């Protein structure tokens, strides 16, 4: 039975390039999962776009002496190019400053919740910088976290502990622009009554299946006590205007506005496809599984606040899962563009093939705990696994088939007992791979494919075709044929992870360009037609220079 999925990846701020922490945390796992679902023939759309509003964009515009719109447009384009170069394929990559998102989507969302009485106005205290002569939205003020006491916490959230808070709770606050101490002034804002959904959220999370423990436990932990009302407007000119009389100069706060982009981008996609109402199948059918791939600093927004917004709006599906990764560190610290500790994706792709980057970021993915990126380990793992395990296996088998079997798949593999034993191991690897992918355990599924490559090398070594090609040519042909079948299995198992490599393998094996559900189900049986012409894919993974790693 065909399943329906709506998969999103967190919207990156349109104020800089993408770094590897972004990719490892949300975008690559989401792309791997979508590729896997499409291989099975499931109905899936993949939604993303840039988060154009908020203070990070306005700060970048000030530094670059241009308008926020110019900043957003420029970095959205750069992000799209980097994603495309890495092989990440969204159905749509839009942006929240695009008018279709403004009206009706974001403003409609606000207006409906407001009409239901779940958004209320309130006089509030906010930091104001006399030197800069303006109110300070959250990222314009920094200080010490009130919870973990980490310095340089932002005005809405601490990167160190992940806790969210009101900016006036900061210890020793200062203006992020001029570093002077702000004063407190009163201003009017609108607040979302989050606590009114606490029991509904607890019931929903209590029934959640297959969630990562770090996500589910963190979200449930925030629901133990009364939830404060959340301010959803800010004193800014850059943003979606609040659609109320008397709200001049107020815009929707970026945390409220941004997740609505998942919905508005979906509607934009189906308008482009000439099916304006097609979005309803994905957002209103309870059979749809909605998954939000994010980093752990977004857990509270996607597992608590956004679901509460959906409950308040009504008639839209709730997330079926919120896969959140921990942090990818570099030089012992979280990769962060705002802190200047980043390894940029486009720089990596200028030096290395996309599949090498995809492999390493998956192999060290911070699925259960923080992990650490180093160039030395990047080189070592590429050489030890891609070159010495997978590349070595493919090169040996294809070279032998080309030189000694006339470049064609031999006959009789399906009936050979030793070949059937190897194919049984292929089926076992497929089952392990599929179970892990269904459970969103991407490192484990990749390891299953790599382990199958190791099994192929062991089989090749034990068969000793360099001896049997003269002493027992028939036996030699069957062993090489079995090894080629294992190579065809790897073209399936590696496809979500190393799409370019998998495509080269399948072309070399005279298989259809894209692996499908019949290939997945057929693993454990021969996939290559007897007598099919074979063409070497060449050396897939030449060794990297360890000394060049920096």
Tens digit of each residue's pLDDT (9 = 90 or more) over 476-518: 999 999 999 999 999 999 999 999 999 999 999 999 999 999 9
Q: Are strands 230-231 and 134-135 parallel, antiparallel or unpaired?
A: unpaired
Question: Does 298 have pLDDT greater than 70?
Answer: yes
The correct CATH number of 117-197+207-235 out of 3.20.20.220, 2.170.220.10, 3.90.226.30, 3.40.50.920 is 2.170.220.10
Task: Supply the mean pLDDT for the chain.
Answer: 94
3-state secondary structure of 129: strand
Say what the pLDDT of residue 340 is: 60
Least confident of 33-37, 40-44, 234-238, 317-321: 234-238
* 223: three-class secondary structure by DSSP: coil
Ranges in the chain annotated CATH 1.10.730.10: 375-548
- Are 164 and 253 in contact by the 8 Å Cβ rule? The answer is no
Q: Flag whether pLDDT at 70 surpasses 70.
A: yes
> Does domain 4-110+255-351 bear CATH number 3.40.50.620?
yes
Nearest in space to 9 (alpha carbons), one of 58, 111, 80: 80
pTM of the model: 0.93
- What pLDDT was estimated at residue 55? 80
Q: Can you tell me whether residue 18 is helix, strand or coil?
A: coil
Q: Is the pLDDT of residue 550 over 70?
A: no
CA distance 348 to 28: 15
- Helical pair 55-64 and 68-86, crossing angle rounded to 10 deg: 110
Residue 331 has pLDDT above 80, yes or no: no
> What span, in angstroms and rounded, lies between the C-alpha atoms of 325 and 501?
26
Q: Indicate the pairing of strand 171-175 with strand 119-129.
A: unpaired
- Residue 236, pLDDT score: 87
- Is 166 exposed, middle or buried (CB count within 10 Å of its CB: 0-12, 13-18, 19+)? middle
Tell me which residue of 497, 184, 233, 541 sits closest to 395, measured CA to CA: 541
**Residue pLDDT, tens place only, 136-167:** 887 789 999 999 999 989 888 887 887 878 88
The residues that bridge with 43 in the sheet, in sequence order, are 4
Q: Which of 102-116, 252-266, 326-340 has the lowest mean pLDDT?
A: 326-340
Q: What is residue 139's predicted lDDT score, i.e. its pLDDT?
A: 79
For 10-25, write each residue's pLDDT tens digit: 999 999 999 999 999 9
C-alpha–C-alpha distance, residues 488 and 530, integer Å: 13
pLDDT digits (tens, 9 = 90+) for 160-204: 887 878 888 999 999 988 999 999 999 999 999 999 999 999 999
CATH for 375-548, options being 1.10.1370.20, 1.10.3720.10, 1.10.730.10, 1.10.8.420:
1.10.730.10
Q: Is the pLDDT of residue 335 over 80?
A: no
What pLDDT score was predicted for residue 522? 96
Q: Which residues pair with 49 in a beta bridge?
A: 94
341 pLDDT above the threshold of 80: no
pLDDT at 548 over 80: no
Question: Looking at the DSSP assignment, which residues form a beta bridge with residue 523?
Answer: 525
Residues of the chain with CATH 2.170.220.10: 117-197+207-235
User: Which whole number is the average pLDDT over 364-389?
Assistant: 95
Residue intervals in the chain for CATH 3.40.50.620 = 4-110+255-351
**Low-confidence winner among 325-339, 408-422, 436-450 (lowest mean pLDDT):** 325-339
Look at residue 338 in the predicted model and tell me its pLDDT: 58
Residue 549 pLDDT exceeds 70: no
């Amino acid at each position: 039975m065909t399943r329906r999925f709506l998969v999103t990846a967190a919207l990156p701020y349109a104020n800089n390039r993408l770094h590897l922490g972004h990719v490892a945390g949300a975008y690559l796992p989401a792309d791997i999962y979508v590729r896997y679902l499409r291989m099975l023939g499931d109905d899936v759309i993949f939604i993303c776009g840039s988060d154009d509003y908020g203070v990070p964009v306005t700060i970048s515009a000030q530094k670059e002496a241009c308008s926020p719109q110019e900043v957003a447009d420029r970095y959205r384009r750069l992000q799209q190019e980097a994603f495309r170069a890495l092989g990440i394929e969204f159905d749509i990559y839009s942006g929240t400053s695009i008018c279709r998102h403004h009206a009706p989507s974001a403003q409609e969302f606000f207006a409906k919740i407001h009409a239901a009485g779940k958004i209320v106005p309130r006089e509030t205290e906010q930091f104001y910088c006399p030197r800069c002569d303006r109110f300070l939205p959250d990222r314009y003020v920094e200080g010490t976290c009130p919870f973990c006491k980490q310095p340089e916490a932002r005005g809405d959230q601490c990167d160190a502990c992940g806790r969210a808070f009101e900016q006036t709770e900061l210890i020793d606050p200062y203006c992020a622009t001029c570093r002077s101490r702000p004063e407190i002034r009163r201003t009017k804002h609108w607040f979302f009554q989050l606590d009114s959904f606490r029991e509904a959220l607890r019931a929903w999370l209590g029934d959640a299946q297959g969630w990562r423990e770090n996500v589910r436990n963190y979200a449930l932990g925030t629901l133990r006590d009364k939830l404060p009302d959340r301010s959803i407007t800010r004193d800014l000119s850059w943003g979606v205007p609040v659609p109320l009389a008397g709200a001049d100069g107020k815009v929707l706060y970026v945390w409220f506005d941004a997740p609505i982009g998942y919905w508005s981008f979906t509607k934009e996609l189906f308008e482009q496809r000439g099916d304006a109402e097609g979005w309803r199948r994905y957002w209103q059918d309870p059979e749809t599984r909605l998954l939000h791939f994010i980093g752990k600093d977004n857990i509270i927004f996607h597992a608590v606040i956004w679901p509460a917004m959906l409950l308040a709006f009504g008639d839209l599906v709730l997330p079926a899962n919120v896969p959140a990764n921990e942090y990818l560190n570099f030089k012992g610290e979280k990769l962060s563009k705002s802190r200047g500790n980043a390894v940029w994706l486009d720089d990596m792709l200028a030096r290395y093939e996309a599949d090498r980057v995809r492999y390493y970021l998956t192999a060290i993915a911070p699925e259960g705990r923080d992990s650490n990126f180093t160039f030395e380990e990047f080189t070592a793992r590429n050489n030890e696994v891609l070159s010495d395990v997978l590349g070595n296996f493919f090169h040996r088998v294809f070279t032998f088939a080309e030189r000694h079997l006339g470049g064609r798949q031999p006959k009789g593999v399906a009936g050979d007992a030793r070949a059937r034993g190897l194919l049984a191991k292929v089926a076992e690897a497929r089952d392990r791979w599929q179970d892990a992918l269904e459970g969103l355990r991407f490192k484990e599924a990749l390891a299953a494919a790599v382990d199958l490559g190791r099994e192929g090398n062991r089989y090749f070594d034990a068969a000793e075709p360099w001896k049997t090609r003269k002493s027992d040519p028939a036996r030699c042909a069957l062993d090489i044929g079995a090894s080629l079948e294992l190579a065809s299995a790897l073209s399936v198992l590696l496809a979500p992870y190393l799409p370019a490599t998998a495509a080269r393998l399948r072309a070399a094996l005279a298989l259809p360009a894209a692996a499908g559900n019949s290939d997945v189900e057929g693993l454990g049986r021969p996939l290559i037609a007897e007598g099919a012409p074979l063409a070497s894919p060449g050396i897939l993974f030449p060794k990297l220079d360890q000394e060049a790693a920096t």
